[in-house]
Amino acid sequence: MIFIANTLPMNGGSTFLLRICKELHSRGEKVAVLLLFSHKTEDLNLKSSIGQYADIHYLSSFSYAPLYFLFSSQLGIFSPIRFKELASFFKKYGSIAHVMGVFGLLFLARAVKAGCVLKSCTVGVYHQNEFMYPDYKTYFSRYAKEIFCSFSPGSIIFFNEFNVMKYTSFFGIDYSASRVVPIGIEMPKTIVNSIPVSELTRIVSIGNLVNFKTYNAHVINILPALLKIKPNLIYEIYGAGPNETVLKLLVLSLNLDHYVRFHGIVDYVDFKKILLNSFAFVGSGTAILEASALGVPSIVGIESSHEPVTYGFLSDVSGLAYNENFDQKKYFIYDKISWLLADVENWSKISKGCHDKSKEFSIDKTANIFIEVRSSLPESLVFNKISPSKVLFSICLHYLKMKLGLLKRSFFERRNEGSSF
């Protein structure tokens, strides 16, 4: 199986690749990762870890004359490619592919048109806006949607039930036949704190500091009230991103610089060590699942929420949807944390509940479905319609309009937007 991904930054998609490749490798599956480009955000430690379980290839290695400035972004998918070698590469890994994003889909269309044969291909919806974005009236965005819609529902893999409903409504296609799989995590063997619960003082968040992850600011804003209950609380933020400066200014404005600590990007292998002896976790993505698996009471950070609310602890959530902003009963984050602080028994109850809930997201279940779902490609008609030169021109024009301020919501920022459209 070949996973077609953009690049390998430290984020939920990349850490998922590590876990799924490791699990498939343990089952004797031959696995490869095809990276469309290399970027300065690439996490070399994560890449090295994935390389223990999968063969990692860059698209640039299949180019006739690598134009390295192109392969620093997704534009490399339009470079001159040795498609015969690429076809042999696909065949080596069973001619089975899994696409993780829009640009992987656009490149796949070009490869199929050029004669590459795949027996099976599935498309994963790793972010709700990856394929579900506003109508930008551009060739490349319209064509990307057309390719996505050409795949049968059985070829689409969703990671929660909420996105199945949203995609069904947005595209007018019944995706009830699609598979919904957990965004799998490895279950730890131990969940032990080395100090008594009464001495735990750290509230932790781990994740990229981007626009839609609004929960960091919410925790900072309620921290003064929480400090009245427990004066030695500390909020530790691990990660980096465009919102870091705004968050630091918020901390200074509230005189919380002694109580909020920014640790920057951390290695994935240090995740368990960071969470040891933490009182609570607030966040989203796979980070909240892994925190819960370690027995840390984990409060759901609702993405794009303008209010300091949550669905509760992970153990309060039904099904696999937990961090998208949808219509479900909400609670104030302050109320959940203060309740935890009120009684050690509350903490112990939620610790066990979150750990038990995390078992629903085991990577073992994810791998079972990835092996089971082997769906054929759509008819080649939709792929044959692609004009790579028109796609490239359209992308460049779109980017120019974004820079000139002519587009309010850019395709390139779709992952930082909510799903209100």
The reply to whether 43 and 152 lie within a common domain is yes
Q: Is residue 189 part of a domain?
A: no
Q: d(Cα 5, Cα 130) in Å, to the nearest integer? A: 13
Dihedrals phi, psi of 4, to nearest 5 degrees: -100, 110
Q: Is residue 191 part of a domain?
A: no
Give the pLDDT score at 403.
81
The reply to whether 18 and 143 lie within a common domain is yes
Q: Which amino acid is located at 245 in the chain?
A: T
| 3-class SS letters over 82-149 | CHHHHHHHHHHCCCEEEECCHHHHHHHHHHHHCCCCCCEEEEEECCCCCCCCCCCCCHHHHHHHHHHH
Dihedrals phi, psi of 115, to nearest 5 degrees: 110, 0
The reply to whether 108 and 19 lie within a common domain is yes
The reply to whether 255 and 112 lie within a common domain is no
Give the pLDDT score at 89.
96
The reply to whether 143 and 201 lie within a common domain is no
Q: What is the CATH number of the domain that holds 332?
A: 3.40.50.2000
Q: What is the CATH number of the domain that holds 168?
A: 3.40.50
The reply to whether 10 and 25 lie within a common domain is yes
Cross-strand bridge partners of residue 412? none
| DSSP assignment letter at 238 | E
Q: Is the dihedral of CA 315, 318, 321, 325 positive or negative?
A: negative
Domain termination residue (choose one: 338, 361, 384): 361
The reply to whether 346 and 396 lie within a common domain is no
Domain termination residue (choose one: 346, 361, 376): 361
Residue 300, C-beta contacts closer than 8 angstroms, at least 6 positions apart: 284, 288, 310, 311, 312, 313, 314, 316, 317, 322, 323
Give the pLDDT score at 328.
82
Q: Is residue 329 part of a domain?
A: yes
Q: Which amino acid is located at 421 in the chain?
A: F
The reply to whether 334 and 371 lie within a common domain is no
Q: Contact 23/57 with Cβ under 8 angstroms? A: no
The reply to whether 150 and 126 lie within a common domain is yes
Q: Is residue 421 part of a domain?
A: no
Core vs surface per residue 70-99: b (16+ CB within 10 A) or e = bbebbbbbbbebebeebbebbeebbbbbbb
Closest CA to 248 of 281, 214, 217, 218: 217
Q: List Cα–Cα distances, 14 to 276, 322, 355, in angstroms.
A: 23, 20, 23
Owning domain of residue 103: 2-184+367-416
Distance from the first to the final alpha carbon of the chain: 34
Q: Is residue 308 part of a domain?
A: yes
Give the pLDDT score at 398.
84
Q: Is residue 69 part of a domain?
A: yes
- DSSP helix/strand/coil, 246: helix
Q: Is residue 399 part of a domain?
A: yes
Give the pLDDT score at 419.
55
The reply to whether 21 and 37 lie within a common domain is yes
Sites in the chain below the pLDDT cut of 70: 65-70, 190-192, 379-381, 408-409, 416-421
Domain termination residue (choose one: 320, 345, 361): 361
Q: Contact 61/84 with Cβ under 8 angstroms? A: no
* Diameter over CA atoms, the chain: 67
The reply to whether 83 and 204 lie within a common domain is no
Give the pLDDT score at 381.
61
The reply to whether 349 and 399 lie within a common domain is no
Q: List Cα–Cα distances, 204 to 238, 275, 282, 300, in angstroms.
A: 8, 7, 6, 12
Q: Is residue 309 part of a domain?
A: yes
| Number of compact structural domains in the chain | 2
